[in-house]
Structure 1
């Protein structure tokens, strides 16, 4: 089974993905937490090299839509790894998945048919939790990390990405979680939804 946590930056994806994977392990269920594209991923270093070479050859930055397609293809390759884990009866919990890429491509006006083809080739989650948070609170949480803001962490980009997530919600049957609610309440909802999917007996 593949379980995905999606939402704009600062919505709590990493926190809740970590909680769920630990809870599944406590329940003696084989689980693997996975963040397909992160700072430890060698791909990002390789992409930086390619972007630098592009700039040297063309005297201008690589177009954002090209970079987005390369990221989507890496996500497809990560999808193949996820398929192998699932074949080994491992429940995979991912921090971001294809829907995050769709949302931010929309937010940056860089959607293309090539990008869509890459993302549609990826394995689809069995369960998607959409962690929703107002943009102003998202930015407050981002600033509390004291790590600076990325190019996607602006009010305009986050507003459009959130708009796209909410637009996709019904078509893809996302489970909407309001992360302004108490954390314990959110965790209980996550446990309940996953228990239904995996037939885990919950204590009353």
Structure 2
């Protein structure tokens, strides 16, 4: 299923959503009707997902525990450490490690390009995308809201999962800290994002895998993948600096920085040792 959306129509909706969330404490029919009116040209199934996410962003959530995030700039090895989809020898993914220790794991990977809201991000980044095609450009002033909407669709799921059992753990590749790091570089104040996502659940532990930007481009070249909008050398240098000073911009969770230049097995050992020390 593929949809075409004009960026100017979507940007008007994103602008309205930010204004509505910053001005309100709870979701109401007035905001919903405004969004529906403003989004009249957006396919109904997409607008419905946007409305659902907006409602979640205005729904207070309880504090949770046992939420782990792995983050860092592009190609730093997040996917390998979280899930090891390529079965690299010597690497026990965090997911497998937790499962073997009798935890049940909710797995999240952001952006979720396989969903409609994630597909909006893919199109904005100019990644290969079969879902939604954006025509025109969304300004940086409001594009960051796309990541917030994508994340919001997992909020209730995480809370319910954690509350469902004492051995339940949520594991996410990227979360709110990633949006903060990239958008601060795009001149979006972190307080604006954190206020907008005030009801999004926050992690207990954030593992940052740090690599030099030169290595990012070596890995992109070796993978023969097409670069997206954010895989820009100057931008990533600035994003890396934000990650290395994340506690100045993002006051949530205990932060660990790992040297991603090491072999994946070595990075893996360090992460698993930290998890054991934390009681997982």
- State the TM-score, normalized to the length of structure 2: 0.63
Distance 1:6 1:123 in 2: 16
Q: 1:41–1:143: structure 2 CA closer, same or farther, 3 Å change rule?
A: farther
Residue in structure 2 matching 1:6, options 67, 71, 74: 71
Report SS of the residue matched to 2:107.
strand
Pair member with larger Rg: 2
Contact 2:117 2:149 in 1 (8 A): no
Residue in structure 2 matching 1:174, options 252, 255, 261: 255
Match of 1:126 in 2: 204
Distance 2:133 2:224 in 1: 29
Contact 1:130 1:175 in 2 (8 A): yes
Residue in structure 1 matching 2:213, options 125, 129, 135: 135
Distance 1:114 1:169 in 2: 16
Counterparts of 1:54-203 in structure 2, within 5 Å, are 55=136, 61-89=137-165, 90-111=168-189, 114-169=192-247, 172=252, 173-197=254-278, 199-200=279-280
Q: Which runs of 5+ in 1 are unaligned?
A: 56-60
Distance 2:190 2:171 in 1: 27
Match of 2:105 in 1: 31
Report SS of the residue matched to 1:120.
coil
Report Cα offsets for 1:114-144 as digits up to 9, x if no partner: 4332333211111110100011011111222
**Structure 1 stretches of at least 4 aligned residues deviating more than 4 Å after TM superposition:** 46-51, 169-172
Report SS of the residue matched to 2:147.
helix
Higher relative contact order (CA 8 A, sep 6+): 1
Contact 1:132 1:179 in 2 (8 A): yes
Moved more, 183-192 or 16-25: 183-192
Cα RMSD (Å) of the superposition?
Answer: 2.2
Distance 1:165 1:143 in 2: 23
- Where is the helix percentage greater, Structure 1 or Structure 2? 1
Distance 1:33 1:156 in 2: 31
Contact 1:143 1:149 in 2 (8 A): no
Q: Which runs of 5+ in 2 are unaligned?
A: 1-65, 84-92, 124-131
Report Cα offsets for 1:52-74 as digits up to 9, x if no partner: 4xx4xxxxx22122121232133
